[in-house]
Amino acid sequence: MTPVELSRTVLHAVRRAVDEGELSVALPERVLVAPPGPGGCGDYSTNVALQLARPAGLPARKVAEVLRPYLLGAGGIGDVVVTGPGFLNIGLRGTAPVGLVREVLRRGLRYGHGDALAGQAVRLNAAHEVRAVVQLDAVARLLRSQGALVHAGCAGPIEAAWESVLGVRVDGVRDPATPTHHDSPAGTDTGPVPAGIDIRPVPAPADPLPLGRDAARWALLRPAPHDRPRLGDEHLVQRESNPLFRVRYAHARSRGLVRNAADLGFGSEPGPVEARALLQSLADHPRVLVGAATHRAPDRLARHLVTVADALLPLLPAVLPLGDEKPSAAHRARLALAEAAGTVLAGGLSLLGIDAPDHL
């Protein structure tokens, strides 16, 4: 069960409680689920009971206790624990990770794409500066991945090298004297995506073009928009200290394992695997994409990809059989999980405009 599916499940539990007369509230449009915070437990937590407490005229813990049995009756949910003032902590059944891996492999590079922003028309406007234009390009990709209709404009003509080397695209050039509906710097607004947004990150301190497309885009996008990017050769080194290298290396290794397994005569088959951190990061991917799109923050996605890669790397040595060992169900399950993680890494990098090579 993905976070999006779990969110719908929680919303359905609220609807059933209202239909049964146990709660008298207007149904929320959306329910947020996230990894449990301090003091929490299980796989996910939601504060929906705290949201509904005042309109329901009940303590939040009472609302949580009303919702708990409806959640326990839903498929894929193994346990529900109420903690703190009324947080619902949800544990998924043991078969849920298998379904998650199947879902990632089924959707491929579009896993995490959705309709959270469907129907929203967004006008992005970037300053005529290289980091702003790269940020514009990535934000437009993220918004479109969530169903938004995007027009990406720049305050001046795009430099030929920005297009040819960095791969940026814009839909038009805006007159800098034309006011916009909303002028908040990218990544600082915590509300809904407005109709017009200026993309104004801290400018690049130097020309990023010598780094090449992939390293330059990573260097400009991974820091938060209000942070000053570093444009040194550290983004080009092929070692673990370079986060971009770890992400691309983890992807390349996952693809190599699929090829090597085929040479050994077996393929992937989702099954139980003890890799909680990796499974959690894959399950979080749709939520991260929605957040990165809504808040115009490609840095959120970049940091998430590092989390996925760092959780994947320890699994890789155990994927293939060793010596005369025969491929088993465990090997197939680990291969499926590695393949799914590699798919998430490739899809995430593509939204940042960065290549995910099969060989490094």
DSSP string, 121-163: EEEEEE-SSHHHHHHHHHHHHHHHHTT-EEEEEESSPPPHHHH
Residue 272 is assigned to a structural domain of this protein: no
Residue 234 is assigned to a structural domain of this protein: no
Where among 56, 78, 93 does a domain terminate? Answer: 93
User: How does the average pLDDT of the chain come out, rounded?
Assistant: 89
Say whether pLDDT at 179 is over 80: no
Where among 159, 190, 211 does a domain terminate? Answer: 211
Residue 162 is assigned to a structural domain of this protein: yes
Residue 16 is assigned to a structural domain of this protein: yes
Query: 136 with 86, same domain?
Result: no
Residue 358 is assigned to a structural domain of this protein: no
Quick one: pLDDT at residue 180? 45
pLDDT (tens digit per residue) in 123-175: 999 999 999 999 999 999 999 999 999 999 998 888 999 999 999 988 876 54
pLDDT-derived band of residue 98, with 50, 70 and 90 as boundaries?
A: confident
Residue 200 is assigned to a structural domain of this protein: yes
Tell me what the mean pLDDT of segment 62-71 comes to. 94
Where among 168, 188, 211 does a domain terminate? Answer: 211
CA distance 308 to 293: 19
Is the whole-model pTM more than 0.85? Answer: no
Query: 82 with 125, same domain?
Result: no
Query: 78 with 134, same domain?
Result: no
* Residue range(s) defining the domain that contains residue 83: 3-93
Of 315, 329, 289, nearest to 104 by C-alpha is 289
Tell me what the mean pLDDT of segment 190-203 comes to. 72
Query: 74 with 127, same domain?
Result: no
CA distance 8 to 1: 10
Quick one: pLDDT at residue 5? 84
Query: 147 with 70, same domain?
Result: no
Tell me what the mean pLDDT of segment 54-65 comes to. 94
Q: Name which of 92-106, 179-193, 316-330 the model is least confident about.
A: 179-193
Residue 197 is assigned to a structural domain of this protein: yes
Asked if residue 61 lies in contact with residue 49, where contact means CB atoms within 8 angstroms, the answer is: yes
Tell me what the mean pLDDT of segment 275-281 comes to. 88
CATH at 28: 3.30.1360.70
Query: 72 with 10, same domain?
Result: yes
pLDDT-derived band of residue 184, with 50, 70 and 90 as boundaries?
A: very low
Quick one: pLDDT at residue 188? 40
Query: 194 with 137, same domain?
Result: yes
- Using CB atoms within 10 A of its CB, is residue 138 exposed (0-12), middle (13-18) or buried (19+)? buried
Residue 201 is assigned to a structural domain of this protein: yes
pLDDT-derived band of residue 186, with 50, 70 and 90 as boundaries?
A: very low
pLDDT-derived band of residue 331, with 50, 70 and 90 as boundaries?
A: very high
pLDDT-derived band of residue 193, with 50, 70 and 90 as boundaries?
A: very low
CA distance 11 to 27: 8
Count up the domains in the chain and report the number: 2
